[in-house]
C-alpha cells in the first residue's frame, strides 16, 4: 500500500460523516460529478413509488390536501432553509433555476426604483444567468453591465439597481465573498441576488446572517434531488411584502381558488410560486433531503476542504509534472467543493477516466472538473481518482 493510500485509509476511519455513504445508491465507480448531478439517496425510490401508487393511484385528487401536495413548495423550502442559513418562511420550491433567476432579478429591479437604471451581472457567470440577466434588462429598460465579482465594489453606484452573482464559480470552483460583496451592494443602495447552485449543501451560506435580499439555487447537485428536480427561491422576510413577481400565477394568488380576474399576491414566500407544482419530482426531493437530518453544514464544509486538499496533494504526487494545472484557489476562504484542473486534452482525458471508473466532467475548452460531495465521497475515492488520473496522463 502506498503512503497516500495509507493516509486515505486513516482519514476514512476518522471521518464522522462516513456512515452517510450507506444512505446512497452507489457502486464501485468513484463518483466525482455530484456538482452536476447528485447520487440517488436510497430512500427515494420507495417514496416515489408511494407517491405514484398510493397518493396518485388511490387517493388521486384528495392528495392535494390529504398528502400535503399543496403545501409542499413551502414545506420543502423550510427543509432547505437551514442548509443555506435561512429561517423558515422565506424559501419556496418550484420551477427551474433559470425561471427563479428571472423572477428574483426582475423583482429586485422593481424594488430598487425607476431612478436606478443599471444591472450588474457576474461576467464569469454560468451562461443561463447571463442570458436571463440580459432579457431582464431589456424587459425592464435597464442597462446590463457584466463585471467580474472582484470588481463589483468599484462598479457600484447610484445607478445600480441589482447585482446578480454566483456564490461559487461553476468552472473554477472559486468561492466568492458573499458577506463583503452583499455589504458593498447594500452600501450603494442596490439589491443583491445570489445564485447558490454550487454552494448549497456543500458549505455554509448564511443568507439571513449576511442580509442577502434574494437567492436562487438548484437541488439536483449537492442536495441530491434528482435530474431536473425543482429549484428554490429565497426572498428575505423584510422584502416579501414588496416582492413583485414578473410571473404572477394562480398558485401565488392570495385566493388561488377564488378564480378572480384581478391579481392579488399571497403574503410571504408563496408569492414566489407561479403554476401547479411538479409533485413527483418535488416529493422525490423531499425524500432526498431526509439524508441531511442531524448533519451540520459546518461538518460537511470541513470534510469538503479536507477532501479537496487531499486531492490536490495526490494529484501533485501522481500526475506527471507540468501535465495539469489547478485553476481552483488554494486558500480555503476562496474554494468551493470542487477542483478544476486545466489540461490541453481534457476532453479525451475525461473520457478515459470514465472508462476506468472515475467520473468527473469536462468543461470547454480545457478543464477537468471534479466535484466532492462530502456525504458520500471518501478519502479512498480521492486517492484512487488521483492515481488513475496520473496513470491516464502518463
Q: Which residues are catalytic?
A: 126, 195, 220-221, 369
Q: Give phi and psi for 119, each to the nearest 5.
A: -115, 130
Listed residue (262, 232, 268) closest to 250, CA to CA: 262
Cβ neighbours for 394, distance < 8 A, ≥ 6 positions apart: 319, 320, 323
What are the grid coordinates assigned to 247, written together? 410571473
Half-sphere exposure at residue 243, Cβ-oriented, CA atoms within 13 angstroms = 34
Listed residue (159, 172, 194) closest to 124, CA to CA: 172
Q: Which secondary structure element, helix H or strand E, spans residue 351, and what is its range? A: helix 346-355
Q: Estimate to the nearest angstrom the gap between the alpha carbon of 388 and the chain centroid.
A: 28
Cβ atoms of 15 and 378 within 8 Å: the answer is yes
**CA-to-CA distance for 85 and 213, rounded, in angstroms?**
13
Cβ atoms of 77 and 231 within 8 Å: the answer is no
Amino acid at each position: 500500500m502506498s503512503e497516500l493510500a495509507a493516509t486515505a485509509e486513516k482519514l476514512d476511519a476518522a471521518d464522522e460523516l462516513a456512515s452517510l455513504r450507506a444512505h446512497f445508491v452507489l457502486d464501485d465507480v468513484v463518483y466525482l460529478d455530484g456538482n452536476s448531478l447528485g447520487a440517488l439517496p436510497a430512500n427515494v425510490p420507495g417514496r416515489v413509488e408511494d407517491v405514484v401508487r398510493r397518493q396518485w393511484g388511490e387517493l388521486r385528487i384528495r392528495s392535494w390536501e390529504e398528502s400535503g401536495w399543496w403545501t409542499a413548495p413551502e414545506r420543502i423550502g423550510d427543509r432547505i432553509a437551514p442548509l443555506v442559513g435561512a429561517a423558515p418562511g422565506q424559501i419556496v420550491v418550484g420551477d427551474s433555476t433559470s425561471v427563479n433567476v428571472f423572477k428574483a432579478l426582475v423583482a429586485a429591479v422593481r424594488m430598487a426604483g425607476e431612478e436606478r437604471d443599471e444591472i450588474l451581472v457576474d461576467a464569469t457567470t454560468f451562461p443561463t444567468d447571463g442570458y436571463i440577466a440580459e432579457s431582464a434588462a431589456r424587459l425592464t429598460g435597464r442597462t446590463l453591465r457584466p463585471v467580474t465579482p472582484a470588481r463589483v465594489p468599484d462598479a457600484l453606484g447610484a445607478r445600480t439597481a441589482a447585482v446578480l452573482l454566483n456564490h461559487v464559480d461553476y468552472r473554477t470552483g472559486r468561492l466568492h465573498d458573499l458577506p463583503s460583496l452583499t455589504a458593498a451592494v447594500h452600501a450603494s443602495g442596490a439589491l443583491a441576488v445570489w445564485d447558490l447552485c454550487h454552494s448549497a449543501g456543500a458549505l455554509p451560506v448564511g443568507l439571513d446572517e449576511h442580509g442577502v435580499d434574494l437567492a436562487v439555487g438548484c437541488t439536483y447537485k449537492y442536495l441530491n434531488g434528482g435530474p431536473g428536480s425543482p429549484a428554490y427561491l429565497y426572498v428575505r422576510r423584510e422584502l416579501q411584502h414588496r416582492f413583485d413577481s414578473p410571473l404572477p400565477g394562480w398558485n401565488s394568488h392570495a385566493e388561488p381558488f377564488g378564480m378572480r380576474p384581478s391579481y392579488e399576491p399571497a403574503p410571504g414566500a408563496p408569492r414566489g410560486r407561479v403554476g401547479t407544482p411538479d409533485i413527483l419530482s418535488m416529493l422525490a426531493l423531499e425524500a432526498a433531503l431526509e439524508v441531511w437530518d442531524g448533519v451540520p453544514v459546518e461538518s460537511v464544509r470541513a470534510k469538503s476542504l479536507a477532501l479537496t486538499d487531499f486531492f490536490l496533494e495526490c494529484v501533485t504526487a501522481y500526475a506527471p509534472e507540468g501535465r495539469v494545472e489547478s485553476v481552483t484557489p488554494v486558500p480555503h476562504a476562496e474554494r468551493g467543493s470542487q477542483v478544476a484542473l486545466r489540461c490541453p486534452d481534457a476532453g479525451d482525458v475525461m473520457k478515459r477516466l470514465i472508462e476506468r471508473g472515475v467520473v468527473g466532467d469536462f468543461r470547454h475548452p480545457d478543464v477537468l472538473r471534479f466535484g466532492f460531495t462530502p456525504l458520500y465521497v471518501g478519502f479512498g475515492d480521492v486517492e484512487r481518482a488521483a492515481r488513475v488520473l496520473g496513470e491516464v496522463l502518463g
